Chains A and B, each alone.
Chain A
Amino acid sequence: MLEIKNLHVDLEEEDKTILKGVNLTVEAGKVHAIMGPNGSGKSTLSYVLSGKDGYEVTGGQATLNGEDLLDMEPEERAAAGLFLAFQYPVEIPGVGNMTFLRTAMNAQRKARGEDELSAAEFLKLVREKAKTLKIDAEMLKRPVNVGFSGGEKKRNEILQMAMLEPKMCILDETDSGLDVDAMKLVAEGVNALRDAGRGFLVITHYQRLLDHIKPDVVHIMANGRIIKSGGPELAVEVENNGYADILAEVA
């Protein structure tokens, strides 16, 4: 599914190297988690994969089902099946949530050569998905993320994911700013999307989220590299002992 080989990335403006050779393969049907201390490069990895400006790839590659991701525009990556749930979803005044969702869905379908959804089909689908995420009609009508609470913004990200049905989902600190109930709701939304054809990369600081979204593989990232990989027990180890032991062990 997602294959990252020896990826090196610099920050364009500061001439600073952030990723120093990341290797990672996420198979279809699997959930991989990345944990790591602040500044280790986790969010940079998610931005580079989704095509945000401001980063320069100086080496390595990233493919999605064999297609070169790094060569595509952000919208092409989305149409190819990549989805990033943002750590800080962006507020877009003046653009209605429904208009946004429908435009996105139909743009992706069009890019893939599929028929666009009619207004009625779309409406039925969005109502159904929104209900399970406890997103009410009022929230759907409002401008994208404007005036949403932290929890509402994250639920809105998961709604977009549910509607767009991507193949590869990257969740960038989706648990940040969520209380326990909100986190459960978001995790349920994610779990509902788990299936044999879909891969997940869950970036988080805390093991807490991984209690709800059970990973198959856990990676520890530090200083721009993945320094250790293991099963779910690795997340428990981090929770109990912090990163110091692992960092010392690798050094």
Chain B
Amino acid sequence: MALPQTKQDVTEARLSTLDMPQGASWANALRENALSRLRAVGLPDRRDEYWKYTRPDTLVQAQGPQAALFETQEEDELFGGVERLQIVFVDGVFDAEASDDLSGENVKIERLAEVSQTDIHWAKDLYGVLETRGQTPVARPLATLNTAMATDGVMIHATGKVSKAIHLVYHHKSTSSDAILHHLIKLEDGADLTILESGPAAARFNKVMEVEIADNARFHHVRKQGRDHERVAVTHIFARLGRESAFKSFTLTANGVMTRNECVIELTGDDAIAHVAGAAVGDGDFHHDDTVFITHDAERCESRQVFKKVLRNGATGVFQGKILVKAGAQKTDGYQISQSLLLDGDSQFLAKPELEIYADDVICSHGSTSGAIDEEGLFYLRARGIPESTATDLLTLAFLAEAVQEVEDEGLREDINNRLSGWLERRRG
């Protein structure tokens, strides 16, 4: 079927502002392939079912919106207490001076901008592969655009336990930056790797992270999205898991007029575990969308989706979460919960939980709720002398706790909790 003219126009207008990076022949071929795949489907518009609750306009238009920089005040550096190797991008451009030396034990870290110039590299067999797999049954054209046009990113190859976390730090210094980064992460059998991400990255940010997790490997991911409120961002994680492997991802978001975080996971080896969680705190014209698609294609795998949003002053939260259990994926254990705490009547939470199951011996549960603050609890706290605003914060943190609990590392979890209570407190001031 031919693409509607309007979609073609929007897609070409966007492409006209971008130059496809040139490199080795394999890289050029993969990019060209992505470009033709994108042209076949076109960029999303609001008539697309998958974009029913989130208007993609600012993410697809030729020029991204301007975004003022956020004054972080006296905030401590996040993850400051963690042993880590920092890789810094400023408005999507690698900053060698600010970054640590990219060498570590059991891990090789390179950059897409360099790797794509070399003739032989493992990335050749993986770049865009999981992104392509993630296009069915639902198209994700912004990820395809990313594969075609990404200017840089990190290529991480972990061969064993990597003792230091790898921290991708995204600074935003230009009010009109438009960044596209594509990370490729490959964990060999038994590898163990933690990726941290923090910062607003750019006025408009399109990021893809493809993660190939071999048998027995463990991947941990904790990210904090930047607070520059006017920034817009679309991110995709594509992960494929082997036997007895684990994937755990947690995202903390406060502020942002447009955030769409997609996470597409395939459990292809038996006894694998995938947990995806998010805590979001939004105020005013905040719009935050978590879209998750988990495919169980092996036996005895476990998946968990835990998403919590606190919304006030007309903020909007969206959750689209799906568990697909393929025929033969017996003993699947799937769990999905999405909840919102609406601090006033103007805010809204739109949830679309889905289960699609073709195996007969599985446990899958899902739930979604929206509620106001518990008045009885609030009065109880106030009757003990806790001011209303502090009491509301305590109940808010308690509400988010189930999602934050998904962060396995105690130190990182503490970091997230401190950051959250600091945010809540400062907003009051």
Contact = CB atoms under 8 A, between A and B. Distances in A.
B375 A94 contact: no
Contacts of A94: 395, 397-399, 401-402
Contacts of B50: none
Given A92-B395, A92-B398, A93-B398, A111 B385 contact: yes
A174 interface: no
Contacts of B380: 86, 89-90, 92, 144
Contacts of B375: 53
Nearest to A85: B383
Given A53-B375, A92-B377, A104 B399 contact: no
B376 interface: yes
Given A92-B398, A107-B390, A78 B384 contact: yes
Nearest to B379: A52
- Of residues B382, B385, B387, B391, which shows the largest number of chain A Cβ atoms within 10 Å of its Cβ? B385
- Of residues A79, A84, A103, A144, which shows the largest number of chain B Cβ atoms within 10 Å of its Cβ? A103
B57 to A, nearest CB: 37
A79 B391 CA distance: 15
B78 interface: no
Contact of A74 (B382, B394, B401): B382
B381 interface: yes
Given A75-B388, A107-B387, A51 B382 contact: yes
A204 interface: no
Nearest to A104: B384
A44 interface: no
B386 interface: yes
B414 to A, nearest CB: 14
B397 to A, nearest CB: 7
Given A52-B379, A53-B379, A108-B385, A103 B398 contact: no
B398 A160 contact: no
Contact of A104 (B381, B397, B401): B381
Nearest to B382: A74
B250 to A, nearest CB: 17
A164 interface: yes
A23 to B, nearest CB: 24
A207 interface: no
A99 B386 CA distance: 12
Nearest to A81: B385
Contacts of A164: 384-385
Contacts of B395: 92, 94-95
A158 to B, nearest CB: 13
A195 interface: no
A75 B394 contact: no
B383 A74 contact: yes
Contacts of A107: 385-387, 390
A113 to B, nearest CB: 14
A50 B386 contact: no
Nearest to B387: A75
Given A90-B376, A95-B394, A100-B394, A73 B382 contact: yes
B276 to A, nearest CB: 21
Given A90-B376, A90-B377, A100 B384 contact: yes
A75 B398 contact: no
Nearest to B404: A94
A92 B381 contact: yes
Nearest to A101: B384
Contacts of B381: 92, 100, 104
Contacts of A78: 382-385
Nearest to A47: B379
Contacts of B377: 90-92
A50 B383 contact: yes
Contacts of A89: 380
A145 to B, nearest CB: 9
5 contacts: A50-B383, A90-B379, A103-B386, A103-B394, A104-B385
Interface of B: 374-377, 379-388, 390-391, 394-395, 397-399, 401-402
9 nearest CB pairs, A to B? A94-B398, A78-B385, A108-B385, A104-B384, A90-B380, A74-B382, A94-B401, A75-B382, A95-B398
Given A75-B383, A92-B377, A95-B394, 16 more contacts: A50-B383, A53-B379, A78-B382, A79-B385, A90-B376, A90-B380, A93-B398, A94-B401, A95-B398, A104-B385, A107-B386, A108-B385, A111-B387, A143-B398, A160-B384, A164-B385
